[in-house]
């Protein structure tokens, strides 16, 4: 128990969070989802420009 307390105090001293609050976890999930949707939008935009369809089955030759 003393070792974990010592590590937690070192992390706090460096400015790192030791335990995330529920709000922080929800915020991170939202930011990750927004980031993923932005990446998917960019893939779609580039695919439309280069006329690439990524979601076709494997047996379609084009």
4-28 pLDDT, tens digit each: 888 878 877 777 666 667 888 888 8
For residue 6, what are the CA distances in angstroms to 20, 21, 47?
Answer: 18, 21, 52
Average pLDDT (47-62) is 72
CB atoms within 10 A of CB 8: 13
The Cα 59–Cα 32 span in angstroms is: 33
Give the Cα separation of 37 and 34 in Å (integer).
5
Q: What is the pTM of this model?
A: 0.36
Give which of 36, 38, 40 is closest to 54, Cα–Cα.
40
């Amino acid at each position: 128990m003393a070792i974990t307390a010592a590590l937690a105090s070192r992390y706090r001293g460096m400015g790192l969070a030791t335990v995330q609050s529920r709000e922080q976890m929800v915020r991170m999930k939202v930011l990750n989802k927004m980031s993923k949707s932005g990446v998917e939008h960019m893939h779609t935009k580039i695919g439309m420009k280069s006329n690439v369809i990524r979601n076709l089955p494997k047996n379609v030759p084009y």
